[in-house]
């Protein structure tokens, strides 16, 4: 698959607010599905579905710790890229006179 096609698939997957929130949470380190569920306030099947998509694209990796799956970013640069986009959007909002959210 051509690089631009892979990039488009990744950007499409990142176009979901829940997936972006998962990436944001994983920036600081590994988390279990249960920890992500608690932090996001979303049901476990929904979080697992989002993690499966991110895992298929190589955004996150998983390891088993006993009977718990723990997820982390496959490449820290993905978190940095998302942070950069959020920073640009926050700056645009300030320039346009709006309030940037956290």
Question: Which residue ranges make up each domain of the chain?
Answer: 3-95
Q: For residue 26, count other CB atoms closer than 10 A to its CB.
A: 22
User: What is the value of pTM for the model shown?
Assistant: 0.85
Q: What pLDDT is recorded for position 99?
A: 57
Query: pLDDT per residue over 16-74, tens digit each?
Result: 999 999 999 999 999 999 999 999 999 999 999 999 999 999 999 999 999 999 999 99
Instruction: Answer whether 32's CB lies under 8 Å from 64's CB.
Output: no
Distances (CA, A) of 40 to 16, 18, 20, 63, 67: 14, 8, 11, 21, 21
Please identify, in words, the CATH class of the domain defined by 3-95. Answer: mainly alpha
Query: pLDDT per residue over 72-99, tens digit each?
Result: 999 999 999 999 999 999 999 888 886 5
Q: Which helix (H) or strand (E) holds 73?
A: strand 68-73
Q: What pLDDT is recorded for position 80?
A: 92
């Amino acid at each position: 698959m051509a690089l631009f096609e892979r990039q488009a698939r990744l950007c499409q997957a990142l176009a979901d607010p829940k997936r972006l929130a998962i990436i944001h949470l994983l920036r600081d380190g590994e988390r279990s599905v249960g920890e992500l569920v608690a932090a996001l306030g979303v049901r476990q099947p929904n979080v697992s579905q989002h993690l499966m998509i991110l895992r298929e694209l190589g955004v996150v990796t998983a390891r088993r710790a006993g009977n718990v799956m723990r997820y982390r970013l496959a490449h820290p640069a993905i978190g940095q890229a998302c942070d950069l986009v959020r920073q640009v959007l926050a700056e645009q909002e300030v320039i346009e006179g709006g309030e940037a959210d956290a």
